[in-house]
Structure 1
Amino acid sequence: MLNVITHDAVTEINLARLPVNALNVDLLRAIRDAVDGALAAGARGLVLSGAPGMFSAGVDVPALLGCDESGVRDFWREFFRTCSKLALSPVPVVAAITGHSPAGGAVLSLFCDYRVMAEGPFKIGLNEVQVGLVVPESIQLALRRIVGPYRAERLMVAGAMVDSSQALAHGLVDELTNVEQVVTRSLHWLEGMLALPSNAMLTTRAIARADLTDIWGDPDALPIDQFLEAYFKPETQAVLRALVARLKKKD
């Protein structure tokens, strides 16, 4: 489900849940445990990576559709806790976006310090609206602080999926490179950060991220009722089930 790889002072947490790194409760908890383990072992930086061509396909929709209301609420709490774990990391985190990154995959990258994406025909975006889901304010904030209010509105309201070159132009990612070099470039960026005077860098980073950490300090307190209400609407359920049917036809 995960590969944890040590690169000197940096730990790479590599998503390895076949076939597309779909996010379920077990993978979300594993990511958090890996972050905690890396920090406990003294890691000074983290890289979150995926497979070549696929960072994460987002939420495991077939599994989620099989849950009752309590199970769905539990899943989204686990997802928010994982976002919080990345947002509150005391060390810099880079999202090594090794390919496609729709919905939940894109959301996780928002809480990292820096985003390196594979160049080419890969798509990234918060396409929640396209499947009838509301983007909560806590996630909207994370996108706004990266791309600005107007661009965030345009991307979220349309549920837009953009290719890597558009993502770079919008500021949604910071750097493009070929797919084989995404992790290498992520490590290179972290090396530059870790070469700086540590206290000055980390304290300045903490001040700069205070808006994010204030909102995400207690993920269990975040309001998700509006989000869950949208999830259970017949329109949303129909769109999600149609999506799953299309995916099954591809298999």
Structure 2
Amino acid sequence: MKVIDERVQLEPIGSVVRLRLCRPRANAIDPRMVEALLTALDELESNEAVRGVVLCGSPGMFSGGLDVVSLYDLDRNGMATFWSRFNELMLRILDSRLIIMSAIAGHSPAGGCVLAIMTDYRVMAEGKYKIGLNEVAVGIAMPQGVVEVLRSIVGHRQAERLGLTGALVSPELALEIGLVDELAPIDEVEARVETELNRWLELATTGQQATKHFFRKHLVQELRQSQYADEEAFLDVWFSPDSRQILGELTARLRK
């Protein structure tokens, strides 16, 4: 095992590596986690022996999303820096040469779901857990890049309904609408992902990587071309009076 940061660990298994989020209590995404994940991707993509990655969290919690407590007090410049780097992380996962699969062994709201939908395959734990993009429920907007990726996965109308209501859905509904690809008992999620990943990796690398690029290139190009404008639009919402009120109330509750 290699520790990139106390928030992120690499666990090699042959040509596959587990990329594990390990920040108590909820694997909340803060600036350090984003930088650690980008560093991990740099290392993994530069290693030709690595072909596949399992993105995983902790039992019961894949990731609780953005660390609102640490982000709320940032000024616009500080938040702009973080948001630009988080967008870069999303695009790096989406456009990676590696096959990246998510082992969602627990809850995955908001930013946790964002990371998962950027990957190539998602296995979620059965049971009481929830997944979804509940940005509007906490007073902010679903980012444009997330809108486009979600739409490519579940279709326009389903994506619109999820986005506008901020719904968190059960594993069963997530499977039904295509938000996740498979369900498994919580203690079997990572093993099931590794089995599926190794099955994919039996195929010829060059053709598989090229095909992935062909599927993703137009979406990635569009998102990169509009990235600055999309980031500014998100920041306008983040710093709007009604969003600040809701985020402030949420932050106060989380700090207790």
| TM-score class normalised by the smaller sequence | over 0.9
Partner amino acid, structure 1, of 2:57: G
Structure 2 vs 1, CA of residues 208 and 17 (structure 1 numbering), >3 Å: closer, same or farther?
Answer: same
Contact preservation (8 Å) 2:69, 2:255 = no
Residue 18 (1) aligns with residue 24 (2): yes
Q: CA offsets, 1:19-39, max 9 Å, x none?
A: 111101110010111111122
TM-aligned CA distance change 1:191 to 1:201, over 3 Å: same
Shift of 1:3: 1.5
Secondary structure, in 3 states, of the residue corresponding to 1:100? strand
Structure-2 separation of matches of 1:146 and 1:9: 27
Report if aligned partners of 2:72, 2:251 keep a CA contact under 8 Å in 1.
Answer: no
- CA–CA distance in structure 1, aligned partners of residues 11 and 219 of structure 2: 27
Match of 2:141 in 1: 134
Q: How many Å separate the matches in 1 of 2:239 and 2:152?
A: 29
Per-residue deviation, 1:213: 2.3
Q: Which residue of 1 aligns with 2:244?
A: 237
Code of the residue aligned with 2:206 in structure 1: it is N
- Do the aligned partners of 1:77 and 1:219 also contact (CA within 8 Å) in 2? no
| Counterpart code for 1:6 | P
Match of 2:160 among 131, 153, 158: 153
Q: Distance in 2 between matches of 1:157 and 1:48?
A: 27
The residue matched to 2:173 in structure 1 has which SS? helix
The answer to whether the 8 Å contact 1:87/1:216 transfers is no
Q: Which amino acid aligns with 1:64?
A: L
| 1:33-48 → structure 2 map (5 Å cutoff) | 33-42=39-48, 43-48=50-55
Backbone CA RMSD of aligned residues? 1.5
Residue 214 (str. 1) matches residue 224 (str. 2): no
CA–CA distance in structure 2, aligned partners of residues 139 and 223 of structure 1: 11
- For the residues of structure 2 that align with 1:121 and 1:244, how far apart are their CA atoms? 25
Contact 2:124 2:184 in 1 (8 A): yes
Structure 2 residue matching 1:223: 3-state secondary structure: helix
Q: Which of 45, 50, 56 lines up with 1:49 in the alignment?
A: 56
Task: Count matched residues.
Answer: 249
Q: Which runs of 5+ in 2 are unaligned?
A: 1-6
Q: What residue number does 1:30 align with? A: 36
Q: Equivalent residue of 1:112, what SS? A: coil
Deviations 1:109-165 (A, max 9, x none): 111001111111111111011122122322101000000011000000111111111
Give 5+ residue unaligned stretches, structure 1. none
Q: Given the two structures, how large is their TM-score scaled by the length of structure 1?
A: 0.94
CA distance, structure 1, for counterparts of residue 178 and residue 229 of structure 2? 26
Distance 1:47 1:186 in 2: 7
Q: Distance in 1 between matches of 2:35 and 2:226?
A: 14
% same residue: 38
Matched, 1:190 2:197: yes
